[in-house]
Structure 1
Amino acid sequence: MSDYQETLDLGSYAALGDSFTEGLNDPGPGGRHAGWADRLAGMLAERRPEHDFRYANLAVRGRLLDQIVSEQVPKVRALRPDLVTLCAGGNDILRPGSDPDLIAEHFEAAVLELRESAGTVLICTGFDTRNVPVLRHLRGKIATYNAHLRAVADRNGLAVGDLWSLRAVHDRRAWSEDRLHLSPEGHQRVALLAARALGLPVEADPEAAWPPAPVLTAADQRRENLQWARTFLLPWVGRRLRGESSGDHVEAKRPELLPL
């Protein structure tokens, strides 16, 4: 059976992870966030006979890998979806002194558990942060973690959404004002990339060229960077210093497999 045929047979999907998969900064129906996982679920549902497709999104912003493993992975045993996506570890990598080798070991243990309860597992690498203020200094650590993730995928027969190689997200318009979460168009590009990784034919190209953008002067860029630091970076650092998370008291938006 081809990858395309296998994708058509996917009748249920559970998304696991943090704010990236929860879909922050991509407004959706009912005041909730949408995001790339919701968009991917829509693509899968459109190709399901009789539209009997079910979807759960267990992702919660701010979650570390071990929290995802303890809170979200066990629920997959009960849901037993045809497809699971696990995109996790980014919040761990951002922490000072974190070890990408150890994080990857925990990630693979989670994958092994998921494979017992899901037909197909897709994982995502981390983004290339070379153009991101502050985060560019973590680029080597992210690259190390990504190398581990690709090895995990090879060993365990996983599909991979390779975000590191997605050049379209190097454009500032792929990101929201906080520069930490994707814009709606950025989420759409990732959804298309994930669909391709699953063998799903897509009409749009995730790497399609962006329209011409206004050119900012050096002074404009400095002003933007200062505003971003005051509005987003300093509060983010403050939460880290206080041991707080943006996901404190936040529940998963779709905890059960329900029709779209």
Structure 2
Amino acid sequence: MVPESLLPDLGRRVFVALGDSFTEGVGDRDERLPNGVRGWADRVAEKLAKAQPGWKYANLAIRSKRLRHIIDEQLEPALRMRPTLITLYAGGNDLLDLKTDMVALMVDYDQFVAKLAGTGATVVLFTGFDVKVSALLEPLKKRNTYYNQRVRDIAAKHGALLVDYWCLDAFHDRRMWDSDRLHMSKAGHKYLAGQVLDQLGVPHKIKRKDWEPPVRLSLREWEQQQRRWVHDWVLPLFGRKLRGVTLGDTLTPRWPEPVKVPRKGLKKLTSETPDGGAAP
């Protein structure tokens, strides 16, 4: 059973997911679904519907969005949906921008969460993980630590549930990450869905993947992997920054309005549309 605290209005069961690529589902590829991804939030919605039929779900998250974009573009639409459950991860893209004023960022985050909590919905927040992408990003660790402590404080202040992503040891395995090293793989999204469901008290059978120990790479293999990563991900990223564009500029939310979640999963919805419902 879903805990009663999730249902302040027993006639409404509406889950709205807000944020950036983390919540959109980047790294968990599925061309049958909108924007070509699935992600942990879709998986949570499906488990909610199995535990208690009648849940509706909207996902407004779009990759590359900064906190200011999420507030400007997602807050009012979310409030109009009268959600009973809201998840929010925001600020990760701001952390990577060295000109970000972290104190001001977290003031805005606090005010954002206050508005979400003021709806009476159950709110779920996330800390950020210490992603070991490159030694070049180690200077950002202090900013990440500050961000995480403020998120913990804000969650406590507003009575939000917290998924302390920073503390999830399973994500130290590189196989939990996609080839860009910044987004979770399918296995990572699935595992995180289980962590969210645990916080909500929703039954599930998601377990940490039982892998063999990772194979140690030779120096040559490591160098090849590094060159491929720089070519496929780092250079295009810097190119987009120079042009002032992001991967999310041409995308729309995956589930912009609450959809009733079928017991057989969200793919059932896209299979009923002529084009499969997947965005480019």
Length-normalised TM-score, structure 1: 0.92
Q: Answer whether contact 2:127 2:165 (CA < 8 A) is retained.
A: yes
AA aligned opposite 2:105: I
Say if 2:124 is the partner of 1:122: yes
CA RMSD of aligned residues (A): 1.9
**2-structure distance, mates of 1:80, 1:42:** 19
What is the deviation of 1:46? 0.8
Cα distance per residue 1:60-96 (max 9 Å; x no partner): 1111100000100111221011100010000001002
**More displaced, 113-122 or 80-89?**
113-122
Contact 2:26 2:184 (C-alpha < 8 Å) held by counterparts: yes
Structure 1 partner of 2:223: 222
Structure 2 counterpart of 1:255 = 256
User: 1:165-190: CA deviations, max 9, x gaps?
Assistant: 11111111111111121110010111
Tell me the SS of whatever aligns to 1:85: strand
SS at match of 1:145: helix
Residues 7 and 199, structure 1, Cα contact 8 Å, conserved in 2? no
**Structure 2 residue 142 is matched with structure 1 residue 140:** yes
- 1:167-182 equivalence runs, <5 A: 167-182=169-184
1:105 is paired with a residue whose SS is helix
Q: Per the alignment, do residues 69 and 172 of structure 1 end up closer, same or farther by CA in structure 2, a change over 3 Å counting?
A: same
The answer as to 2:37 corresponding to 1:36 is no
Q: Which amino acid aligns with 2:38?
A: A
> How far apart, in 2, do the equivalents of 1:18 and 1:135 lie?
20
* 3-state SS of paired residue (2:257): strand
Q: CA deviation at 1:200?
A: 2.4
Kept after mapping to 1: 8 A contact 2:180/2:229: yes
* Structure with higher RCO (Cα < 8 A, 6+ apart): 2
Q: Within 5 A, what are the aligned runs for 1:4-19?
A: 4-7=3-6, 11-19=13-21
Which one is further off, 2-11 or 213-222? 2-11
Distance 1:144 1:109 in 2: 17
Is 1:238 the counterpart of 2:239 in the alignment? yes
Amino acid at match of 1:183: S
Q: Which amino acid aligns with 1:226?
A: R
Aligned equivalent of 1:203 = 205
Aligned to 2:50: 46
Q: Distance in 2 between matches of 1:209 and 1:99?
A: 41
Separation of aligned partners in 1, 2:94 and 2:214:
34
Write the letter of the residue equivalent to 1:222. E
Aligned to 1:212: 213
- CA distance in 1: counterparts of 2:87 and 2:177, whole angstroms: 21
Aligned-pair identity in percent equals: 36
- Residues 124-163 of structure 1: CA deviation (Å, up to 9, x unaligned): 111112x221333311111111000000011110001111
- Structure 1 stretch 157-166 or stretch 211-220: which is displaced more? 211-220
Does the 8 A contact of 2:89 with 2:125 survive in 1?
A: yes
Secondary structure, counterpart of 2:3 in structure 1: helix
Q: 2:267 maps to which residue?
A: none
Query: For structure 1, which runs of at least 5 residues remain unmatched after alignment?
Result: none
Q: Does the CA contact (< 8 Å) of 2:51 and 2:202 recur in 1?
A: no
| Matched residue type, 1:42 | E
What residue identity is the alignment partner of 1:41? A
Q: Distance in 2 between matches of 1:201 and 1:258?
A: 22
Deviation at 1:197, TM superposition (A): 1.8
AA aligned to 2:118 is E
Which secondary structure state, in structure 2, belongs to the residue aligned with residue 256 of structure 1? strand
Aligned residue number for residue 186 of structure 1 = 188
* CA deviation after TM superposition for structure 1 residue 112, in Å: 1.1
What CA distance in whole angstroms lies between the structure 1 residues aligned with 2:219 and 2:230?
Answer: 16
Counterpart check, 1:160 vs 2:162: yes
In the alignment, is the contact (CA less than 8 A) between 2:23 and 2:89 conserved in 1? yes
